[in-house]
Homo-oligomer: A and B are copies of this chain.
Amino acid sequence: MRFRLTPRDVTFFDLFAMNAQHLVDGADLLAQLIGAEPPDRPAHAARLREIEQDADDAKGTIMNRLNQTFVTPFDRDDIYTLAAAMDDCIDAMEAAGDIIVRYQIVDLPDGVVTMVATLQRAAELTAAAMPNLRTMTDLKPYWVEINRLESEANRTYRALLAHLFGSPQFQRSPADVVELIKLKDVVDVLEQASDAFERVGSVVQTIYVKET
């Protein structure tokens, strides 16, 4: 089935491209937050929260538009699922920043930096792919790479947990174990962000499969 391109429909592509930019901004802010000195992190977390709220508003605009539009470029369910998956990405990244600040985590292991760098790459790829929904071209390399990045992030995630669990540093005192649990929470939520980016790729693949 070919999809139709009408002036009214075009806005969906624009809205998704704009929303993907929030993911890029969110991932970049999260990278800055973890690279910052602990006293400077709350300010970054506050800005990350604003971006998450902007992304929420963008999702609301997409839903309202969907409500008013009779002819949409794709299946309505897919638009909804895509918006929801993008929401999960920014929610998890915001949660990671908020947790680091609230739990007053000072030292972040290198694996966290690596995982956030992978999220930045996933966000950039997603933002670059969104405009291609208009023409349904060049999308396969995107979801293939997003899948690869998720596998890479998953390996980093497991190696990082194995490292934390095996490190004598977190087994010396009860307080050390609490520190380990806090770090595990951070890396778990980063892994969830990575999974959410993979789901965005999956929805794009589903849309592609149906529309071409």
Contact = CB atoms under 8 A, between A and B. Distances in A.
A64 to B, nearest CB: 9
A114 to B, nearest CB: 17
Report the copy number of this chain in the oligomer: 3
Contacts of A66: 209
Nearest to A202: B84
Contacts of A158: 95, 98-99, 102
A206 interface: yes
Nearest to A185: B161
Nearest to A102: B162
A205 interface: yes
Interface in A45-76: 63, 66-67, 76
A134 to B, nearest CB: 19
Contacts of A67: 208-209, 212
Interface stretch (A3-11, A14-22, A36-44, A166-174): A166-174
Given A103-B166, A177-B181, A180-B181, 5 more contacts: A67-B212, A102-B161, A174-B174, A177-B177, A181-B181
Interface of A: 63, 66-67, 76-77, 80, 84, 95, 98-99, 102-104, 158-159, 161-162, 165-166, 170-178, 180-182, 184-185, 202, 205-206, 208-210, 212
A99 B154 CA distance: 12
Given A84-B202, A181-B180, A181-B184, A166 B104 contact: yes
A103 B161 CA distance: 8
Nearest to A199: B84
Contacts of A170: 174, 178
A77 B206 contact: yes
11 contacts: A63-B209, A76-B210, A77-B77, A80-B209, A95-B158, A99-B158, A161-B185, A165-B178, A171-B173, A174-B177, A177-B177
